[in-house]
Amino acid sequence: MKANALDPRQADMKQTIWIPDQYTSQFGLLGAMARELRDAFVAVGHDARIVSIEDMPNIESGVLLFMNTPTTIDMLPKALFEPGGRVRAVQYMVDHLFALPDGILDAWVERAGLGNYRLCMPCADDAHLLRARFPGLVHRWVPHGVPREALCAAEAIDAGEHAGREFDVVVTGSVRTQESIDQQLGALPVQLAGMAREMVYLMMAEPHLGYVAAADLVMGTAGVVTGDWKSLKLLWALVIAMVNRERRLSTVRALQGLRVGVFGSSAWESECVETIEYAGEIEYARNAEAFGRGRVALAWGPSQFVHSYSERIMQAMASGACVVADDRLLVRRDFKDCCTLFDWSKPEFARRAVDRALGDAAGSVEMARRGRALVEARCLWEHRVGVMLSV
C-alpha cells in the first residue's frame, strides 16, 4: 500500500471554526483533543474558537467541528438545518463506527438530510458499512495527530538520557474490571454469551481478525443471518472489552522482570506486582510525558479496530522513546523504520520485541530519533486540520 500524504486542498481561511470542548470521556480525552485541534487551526491561520455545547452561541456561518454528538440535535445551531444555511458540520469520531450515535444521526437525516454533515475518522476498518446504514454519508479517513507541544527536545534523545529513564517500558491505556465484564456476560442468554466468548477466542488467536469478521464466522455458522447493523452491534462493546482486557493484561504480565510503568485506569492496580508498577491515572494531555519516562514505549493499538491506529503510537514517538507496537497494516505502512512490530497472537512475542529494543541501546536511540522526526514532519494536528475542512 502506498502511504496517503493527506495533502489538503486549499481551505477557505476566512471561515470561523467553532469547536465545542465539553465532553464526558475518560481522562479528559475528547476535551483535550478539541482544544488541541483549536490550537492547530489557529497555528495554520484559521479563526478557531472554543464554544460551549450547553450554551451554544447563535452561529450563522462557518464550520462546527465536534467530537461526540450532543444528546439531542436541538442543542446544535439552527442554521445547520435551515435551507441555504451557511453552517456545516464536521464530526471527528475517534472510535469505531459502531460507536456512532444512530439515533442522533437518524434524527439529523429526518430533519435536514446529511448534505451539510461530514464524518472524519481515524478508523478505516469496516468503513464500507457506513453508507449502507447512512445512505449519502460523506466520510473520510483522517488519522489522529498530536500537538506540537508533545514533541520532546530532539537534541535530548541520546544513549545517556535513555539509560537514565525511570522505566524500561511504559504502557498506557485502560482495561475494564473482570467483575463488570462477568456481570454483563451473565445478563445475556447463554447462547449469546457463548458466541461472545468464541469471538474473543478467535480475535485473540488471530490479531488481524476484526470484530465484524469474527461475528460473521461465529454467528453466521450458528445460523444467524449477519450483516444487519443492529445485530452486528449487539455484542460489539462487550467483545471488545473482553479482548482488550485479556490481551493487555497478558502482554504486561509477559514483561515481568523489567521495570514497567503502567499508566491507566485503576483496574490495573491489582495486576501490577513485583517489577510491574502501577503508575496511576494520567490525563490524556500528558500521555507523551508518561511515555517519555520509559526507554521503550509499548504503544499497543486500540482493540476496537485491528488495521488502523490511534494517537498512542504518535505520542510515544513524540516522547523520544523507542517504540514497540503490535503489527497492523496501517502502522506497517505509515511508520516503517520508526518502530519495532510484534505479532500479538502471543504475549511472549511482545516481550521478545521489547528485549531486542532494550538490548540494542544505540539502535533504539536511532529509532527514537526517526520516530520523533516523522511525527514532527507529518503527524501533528497542524497536518490534519486542512483535510478535515476539505471533506
The confidence score (pLDDT) of residue 54 equals 82
The confidence score (pLDDT) of residue 11 equals 52
Residue-wise pLDDT tens digits, 292-331: 999 999 999 999 999 999 999 999 999 999 999 999 999 9
Report if pTM > 0.85: yes
The confidence score (pLDDT) of residue 2 equals 43
In degrees and rounded to multiples of 5, residue 227 shows phi and psi of: 105, -15
Residue-wise pLDDT tens digits, 134-154: 999 999 999 999 999 999 999
Dist. CA 210–CA 388, nearest whole Å: 26
Q: Set out the domains of the chain in order of their start, with CATH numbers.
A: 16-146+383-390 (3.40.50), 151-177+242-379 (3.40.50.2000)
Which amino acid is located at 26 in the chain?
A: Q
Burial of 241 (0-12, 13-18, 19+ CB in 10 A): buried
Dist. CA 320–CA 158, nearest whole Å: 9
Grid coordinates representing 53 are 455545547
The confidence score (pLDDT) of residue 8 equals 42
**Cα four-point dihedral sign 232, 224, 216, 179:** positive
The confidence score (pLDDT) of residue 56 equals 84
How far is CA 95 from each of CA 51, 101, 272, 354, rounded to the nearest angstrom? 23, 11, 28, 28
**pLDDT < 50: residue spans in the chain:** 1-10
The confidence score (pLDDT) of residue 71 equals 85
